[in-house]
Amino acid sequence: MKHAHSFYIDGKWVEPSVSKTLEVIDPSTEEPMGTIALGSAADTEKAVAAARRAFASFSETSKEERIELLRRIVTILKRRNDELGDIISREMGAPLAMARAEQAGIGALHFQQTIKAFETFASDYMQGTTCITREPVGVVAMITPWNWPINQIACKVAPALATGCTMVLKPSEIAPFNAVIFTEIMDEAGVPKGVFNLVHGDGPTVGTALASHPDVDMVSFTGSTRAGIAVAQAAAPTVKRVHQELGGKSPNIILRSADFSGAVAAGVRRCFGNSGQTCTAPTRMLVPAERMEEASSIAAREAAALVVGPPSDPCTDLGPVASGAQFDKIQALIERGIAEGAELIAGGPGRPSHLNSGYYVRPTVFARVTNQMTIAREEIFGPVLSIIGYDSEDEAIAIANDTPYGLAAYIQGDPEEARALAGRLRAGSVRLNNSAWDSAAPFGGYKQSGNGREYGKFGLQEFTEIKGIAGFANE
């Protein structure tokens, strides 16, 4: 890749301060697919300085200018969509068709939704004689993950640009090449120099340098709760805004009133999508205790029907997980589930028998899980589903909320009944009856799933400061 060994700072591709590279591994083969430059504190310093210089002028650009910039980005994103999808598929293992349609395609969707929200976004209004105004927060450090890479880049960059912020992006070093293409798109679209900057690197080096930098006004981080805690600790001495979207252990409550067979089958598929590497995946399926056997049979059948294989194969439902470390973690947790007495009804340890290499995980379902078991407590981030029984709706709600996380929750059943229960779930988003994703709905979590919200007008609000100007109007 042309710019893999460069960083994008102050409107141009530049050489790293230190010559250090990292192999990027194709998870379907376990072989290197290329190398990426790794940045240092010196590279981070240059990028932040460029963003700080650019902020004074970019924050004063008009709403119309920024909307036109966002529209240019959308046009180029669509033109390079398949190229983005192809590289994401190789980097993190998503099936090719899914990588193009969803992983890459979601980038343009976020920009379009941001444009729509920004067109009617009220930057200021009068409250009596006081003017309440929203202003750009400043220089934003963006630290993004590997599981939905373009999604998380786009849903941060789009609202930051719209509100007049400048930024430095550190994408995941596990799946970094899509960010290089994204940066080429930003450059082609004519983003003013210094407004958008890219520095590759690892968390302890570049991530910490960004989070702790006194000239960074906000850190927007998506990743694990463990890493989020480290980011918050690094940011604390400078009292900057810390916006985080972290882990999840989402419950999926299947009510007695649900179309049981359809709800269980849909829950399995949603849990295993993207090989289980989605923070909102409904990994705890709660079913009436008296229907545990029925739910187990349906879930096992659905898991067995999923095709695990190379991302390039059009028949593949699940590709590999993204890395060797992730594979090892998932295998250890599957073994832990067995050791703690959960009933293994599909999948299990090891690769599927027809695959000899690659980080492939067997779609795994455990039945008769209790909410105290490790597999019900920890975010596994792989294709592993736990089925938990409940006796009453009150018990189902108690189990659902009995987690340190609160990112998402799901309810299947009678619509009126589901709506009544939704308010009792301690989660940032609740989906009823397998509803579709909504790019305008707020996205973020309660408890250790983070703070702040992304998407649409909610993302725009996160990247602004609120100012009150008293005496603005005459009495």
Residue 49: how many CB atoms within 10 A of its CB?
A: 18
Interatomic CA distance for residues 30 and 85, integer angstroms: 20
Helix (H), strand (E) at residue 324: helix 324-339
The answer to whether 245 is a known catalytic residue is yes
Q: Residues 279, 302, 454, 462: which is the catalytic one?
A: 279
Taken in order 88, 90, 92, 94, the sign of the CA dihedral is positive
Interatomic CA distance for residues 43 and 37, integer angstroms: 11
Residue 247 half-sphere exposure, CB side, CA atoms within 13 Å? 18
Q: Residues 102, 245, 302, 454: which is the catalytic one?
A: 245
Residue 347 CB partners (closer than 8 Å, separation 6+)? 303, 334, 361, 362, 363, 364, 365, 383, 384
Structure tokens at 60: 């004063």
Residue 89 half-sphere exposure, CB side, CA atoms within 13 Å? 25
Interatomic CA distance for residues 144 and 65, integer angstroms: 27
Q: How far is CA 46 from the centre of its chain?
A: 27
Neighbour-count burial for 307-321, b at 16+ CB within 10 Å, e otherwise: ebbbbeeeebbbbbb
What residues are labeled active site?
A: 245, 279
